[in-house]
Amino acid sequence: MKIYPILFKLVFKPMDAELAHKIGLKGIQLLRASKLTPVARKFLLPDALLRTEAMGLTFPSPFGIAAGFDKEGSCINALGDLGFGHVEIGTVTAQGQPGNPKPRLFRLVEDLAVINRMGFNNEGAAKVGPRLAAARADFETEFSFSSSARPIIGVNIGKTKVVELEDAAEDYRISTMTLAPQADYMVVNVSSPNTPGLRSLQSVETLRPLLQTVQEAAVLAEPNRHVPLLVKIAPDLADDEILEIADLAVELGLDGIIATNTTIARDGLGLQSDAQKVSEIGAGGLSGAPLKNRSLEVLRLLKEHVGEKLTLVSVGGVTTAGDVKERLDAGATLVQGYTAFLYEGPLWAARINRELKKLLK
């Protein structure tokens, strides 16, 4: 019998969603600090069968935690201990900012979904950078004598809210210069619905110079190491817009695309939650199980169009090992989850890795 669903129902479900998230982060950090960590790691780390090569990096598992869970790099090592093959932190902005007014995180329990309008709340690149460096050093020390590959650290960057859209490229450049030396890979987030105007940067005309600026900054920041660069796109783009971004990514020599971010849609998702409740929650990006079909659709569209030219990272509606296998079969090299973590609990990644190993055999 799973204990966490009972804990969720009795403790976390009645609680404000953002407060519950903070308590969850603290619990993961405490687990990391406990003496149980070395013992637990033996049972929670992915099997060697799941090792995955992508973008010149070795991932211990194709399954990782998406950006949004650990916004500021406060529990990277703890998440690695839980079995995630990669930990993508962020979204981090060049300047620290508080994000949007609260409440800004809402559960749709009947749909295993979440609506958020967090607004890139984080302390800024300069404060996050040292945490990344420390986490990476810890991983390299802990796994130096291990047959297991260390978890990979990704950094998702976005635009500071007070920065005008015409100055976005410079804002992303600052974050890149600060964080690329500590990152295993970087992600340009232009697809969150919670920063005004951000999604307009997905148009090829504005996206091209922004991505070129980030590429140049990554080389300057880390001249002796290639830092893979990906762009994260929204599920609400039309198919032809997705293909235009894919062509641009290939043209510029990007390493990959992450598909997809949260959706602003409410209709057509088959939501089981009370319609009035959803309406009262209001604006924000919806993530979780209802996003599954569109996310998978975008993945297949991209794979058919770009083949092996880009690494495709699939995220959106991933809950089970079967979901991960379905994404891999559809052309993803890596798969991410986040929302289901809130409903499945701390053993979620280890359970997916264990079941995925059986499926792959």
Q: What pLDDT was estimated at residue 39?
A: 65
Whether the pLDDT of residue 146 is over 90: the answer is: no
Find the catalytic residue in 61, 175, 192, 273: 192
Residues forming beta bridges with residue 285, ordered by sequence position:
116
338 pLDDT more than 80: yes
pLDDT digits (tens, 9 = 90+) for 95-120: 999 999 999 999 999 999 999 999 99
Percent of the chain with pLDDT strictly greater than 90 = 88
Cα 14 to chain center, whole Å? 26
- As annotated, the binding site includes 67-71, 91, 116-120, 156, 189, 194, 232, 260-262, 288, 317, 338-339
Domain range for 192: 4-360
Residue 132 pLDDT: 97
CB 182 within 8 A of CB 129: yes
Q: What CATH number did the domain enclosing 152 receive?
A: 3.20.20.70
* E strands in 38-125: 52-54, 57-59, 63-65, 86-92, 105-108, 113-116
Task: State residue 106 phi and psi, 5-degree precision.
Answer: -140, 135
| pLDDT for residue 33 | 74
Q: How does pLDDT run across 29-65, given as a tens digit for each residue?
A: 887 877 656 666 777 889 999 999 999 999 999 999 9
Q: State how many domains the chain has.
A: 1
Q: What distance in Å separates the CA atoms of residue 18 and residue 20, rounded to the nearest whole number?
A: 5
Sheet harboring 113-116: ordered strands across?
105-108, 113-116, 285-288
- Average pLDDT of every residue of the chain: 95
Our answer to whether residue 192 is catalytic in this structure is: yes
What is the average pLDDT across 260-277? 96
DSSP per position, 220-256: HH-TTS---EEEEE-TTS-HHHHHHHHHHHHHHT--E
Spell out the residues 6+ positions from residue 345 whose beta carbon is closer than 8 angstroms to its own: 2, 3, 4, 5, 7, 8
**Closest by Cα among 294, 283, 289, 359 to 328:** 359
Q: Binding site membership for substrate: which residues?
A: 71, 116-120, 189, 194, 261-262
278, pLDDT greater than 80: yes
What's the pLDDT at 38? Answer: 66
Q: What is the pTM of this model?
A: 0.96
Beta bridge partners of 335: 63, 314
Q: Which residues are annotated as a binding site for FMN?
A: 67-71, 91, 156, 189, 232, 260, 288, 317, 338-339
More confident residue, 245 or 6: 245
Of 257, 286, 259, the C-alpha closest to 270 is 286
- Distances in whole angstroms, Cα of residue 69 to Cα of each of 16, 24, 39: 16, 10, 25
Q: Residue range 341-354: average pLDDT? A: 96
List the one residue out of 251, 258, 268 whose CA is nearest residue 295.
258
Instruction: Report the pLDDT value the prediction gives residue 358, as an integer from 0 to 100.
Output: 96
pLDDT value at 1 more than 80: no
Distances, alpha carbon 72 to alpha carbons 125, 155, 254, in Å:
9, 10, 25
- How large a percentage of the chain has pLDDT more than 70? 98
Peptide bond between residue 213 and the one before it cis (omega within 30 degrees of 0): no
Q: What is the pLDDT of residue 5?
A: 85
State phi, psi for 178 to the nearest 5 degrees. Answer: -80, -40
pLDDT at 92 over 70: yes
Q: For residue 83, name the pLDDT band (cuts at 50, 70, 90).
A: very high
Which one, of 140, 38, 29, 35, lies nearest residue 76 by Cα? Answer: 29
DSSP string, 283-300: SSEEEEGGGHHHHHHHHH
